[in-house]
Amino acid sequence: MHHRHPDIDPQLLSETEEQRELRSVLRDFFTEESGPEDVRKHLATPRGHDETLWARLAGEIGVHGLAIPEEFGGSGFTFAELAVALEEAGRALYCAPLLPTVVLAAHALLNSQDQQACERYLPRIADGTLTATVAGFDEDEPGVGAERSGPGWVLRGAADFVLDGAGADLIVVRARTTEGTRLFACEPAEDTCSRTPRRVLDETRRQALVEFRGAPATPVGESGEVTAALDAGRAALAAEQVGGSGHALDATVEFVAQRQQFGRPIGSFQAVKHRLADVLVALEAARSASAYATACVALASPQLPVAASAAAAVCSETYRLATAEYVQLHGGIGFTWEHPAHLYVRRARSSEVLFGTADHHRTRLAELVGLTTHPAA
C-alpha cells in the first residue's frame, strides 16, 4: 500500500527558467511549423507526419534526447523537461510519434537496465533517426510468445492497436516465454512481421495490428516488468492533455470575445462566462495533477503509480470538457470539418481510453491507497 501523503518537494512542481525558455521556443516552433492545416496535410502522407520536422525537432531543439542520459546520446535533462515539450506538442496537436518513441520505448529500455540495448537504440532515438514503439504492455497475458530458435529468439503471435505500429523502426515487445514474461527488441521485417493499420478515431495518432510470424528478436533485460514505463506514458499523456485543454480554452476565449450577438460579444453573457470558468478551474486541477505525475517520473518516486493514475483520470476528463466547450461555444462553425475543434475532440476522446479509462484509474487508485482489497485489472 502506498502512503497517502506526497513525498515531492512542492518547489519541484513549479517551472524553472530553463523550462520556461524551452516552452517559449517550442510554442513558437509549433505555431510556425505545425498548425492545423499542416497537421491535416501530413495525415494524408504514408508516414502520417512531417519527417523533416521530426528531424528538426530532434536536431535543432533536442526534444527526443531530453530525458535520455548523456551516456546514451541524450542531453541528460529529466522527464520534467520532456513533459514541457509534450505539453506544447499536445497544444499544437503534433501528429508525430513522440509518445511511443521518446516515452514508452525509451523508458522501457532505460528501465530494463540493459546496457547493450540502451547503447544500441537510445542514441538513435535521441538524434531522431529511429522511431520506436511498444507492444503487449497493457495486457495481463501478452498475445505474443517468444521461443528459442537456434542461438536466438523469435516472436509469434499478435498485438493489436499498437501505437505507430505500422511505421516504427523498433518494437519493444512484452512476450510470453516458458519462464514467464520478458521484453524483446524487434526490428520488424516484411517477411516475418505483418503490420496492418487500424482505422481509429484520432488519425493524428496512428495504430496498427502487428502480427509476428517467427520474427527475430533480442532479449532486453531480465524481466517483463513494464509498470513504470506505462506510468511514464500516462504522465506523458496527461501533459499532452493539459496542452490540448489549454489550446481549447484559449481559442474559445478569443472567439467569444470577438463574436457578436445582440450587439455585444457573446463572452459578456454570464452563462458563457460560467462555462469558461468551469473549464479554467478544471484546467488548473489538471495542471497540478500533471505536474505531480511528471515530478514522480523525474525522481523515480514510489508514488508514481498513484500520481500517474490520478493524472490520467483528472486530465482525461478536463480534456473532454475543454474540447466539448470548444465546439459548443464556437456555434455553427465549431461543428464543421473545416474547423480544427473536431481534431481536438477526436484526440481527447481517444486519449481518455489509451492507457485505461478514468473509471479504471479510480479503481486502481482505490486499491493503491488501501480503500479496496480487490486489485484493479
Distances 242 to 20, 217, 245 between C-alpha atoms, Å:
16, 37, 5
Strands 264-265 and 180-186: unpaired
Spatial CA neighbour of 170 closest among 129, 127, 226: 129
Q: pLDDT-derived band of residue 6, with 50, 70 and 90 as boundaries?
A: low
- Comparison of pLDDT for 123 and 41, the residue scoring more: 123
Q: What is the mean pLDDT of residues 295-307?
A: 95
Q: State the Cα–Cα distance between residues 72 and 122, nearest whole angstrom.
A: 6
Q: What is the mean pLDDT of residues 303-310?
A: 96
In our burial notation (b when 16+ CB lie closer than 10 A, e otherwise), range 72-95 reads bbbeebbbbbbbbbbbbbbbbbbb
Q: Would you say residue 367 has pLDDT above 50?
A: yes
Candidate from 192-196, 258-262, 325-329 with smallest mean pLDDT:
258-262
Candidate from 159-163, 257-261, 358-362 with smallest mean pLDDT:
257-261
Grid coordinates of 126? 535521441
Query: Looking at the DSSP assignment, which residues form a beta bridge with residue 207?
Result: 163
Q: Indicate the angle between helix axes 341-351 and 36-43, nearest 10 degrees.
A: 70
- Are 157 and 212 within 8 A, CB to CB? yes
Q: How many residues belong to the chain?
A: 377
Q: Would you say residue 119 has pLDDT above 80?
A: yes
> How far is C-alpha 57 from the chain's CA centre?
17
The per-residue pLDDT for 153 is: 97
Residue by residue, DSSP assigns 300-322 as: T-TTHHHHHHHHHHHHHHHHHHH
Q: State the Cα–Cα distance between residues 242 and 221, nearest whole angstrom.
A: 33
Grid coordinates of 245? 485543454
Q: What is the mean pLDDT of residues 341-347?
A: 94
CB atoms within 10 A of CB 350: 16
State pLDDT tens for residues 254-293.
999 888 778 788 888 899 999 999 999 999 999 999 999 9
For residue 359, give the amino acid letter: D
Q: State the Cα–Cα distance between residues 219 and 180, nearest whole angstrom.
A: 13
The per-residue pLDDT for 1 is: 44
Q: State the Cα–Cα distance between residues 47 and 377, nearest whole angstrom.
A: 34
Distances 84 to 14, 122, 295, 351 between C-alpha atoms, Å:
12, 20, 12, 18
Q: Would you say residue 5 has pLDDT above 60?
A: no
Q: Would you say residue 375 has pLDDT above 90?
A: no
Q: State the Cα–Cα distance between residues 232 and 303, nearest whole angstrom.
A: 12
- Are 94 and 50 within 8 A, CB to CB? no
